[in-house]
Amino acid sequence: MSARVLLVEDEPDIRLIARAALMRAGFDVLTAGDGVEALAVAQSHAPDLILLDWMLPQLDGFETCVRLKADSGTAPIPVIFFTANTSADDRARCLALGALGCITKPFNPISLGDQVNALWRPPVDRASEDART
């Protein structure tokens, strides 16, 4: 079973390329174009991971992350910020909100899946784990 990633990105071209790159890396990808939509998708589809743009319309990535972490249903979902903002202060702010880290844009589509996996350990497939023991 593939890990389900919610990709939150407002730029259609970036969303399309990132979605294709994540699917090529073996992820099942859900998408949202803004923070409000991201909250609804996260609540209704329970993704394994959220890849969250920082600068979004309606509700920015920081406020979206705050709301995700304040909701008991979505709080356990790991978040990785997907952003062009790369200062040490920006990264510290992401981590302070409970994110696993940041992936910098522009990104390399060929290595995006590896970058995600470097920050996040996918959930263990219980059936596979049981079969090995």
Q: Does residue 103 contact residue 115 with C-beta atoms inside 8 Å?
A: yes
Alpha carbon distance 50, 60 (integer Å): 14
Say what the pLDDT of residue 87 is. Answer: 83
Please count the structural domains in the chain.
1
- How confident is the prediction for the chain on average, in pLDDT? 90
Alpha carbon distance 117, 12 (integer Å): 24
Encoding tokens for residue 4?
Answer: 């389900």
Please say if the pLDDT value at position 100 is more than 70.
yes
- Give 62-76 pLDDT, tens digit per residue: 999 999 999 999 999
Say what the pLDDT of residue 90 is. Answer: 85
CATH number at residue 33: 3.40.50.2300
Domain of 80, in residue numbers: 4-132
- Give 3-58 pLDDT, tens digit per residue: 999 999 999 999 999 999 999 999 999 999 999 999 999 999 999 999 999 999 98
Encoding tokens for residue 98?
Answer: 């409970």
Q: What is the pTM of this model?
A: 0.89
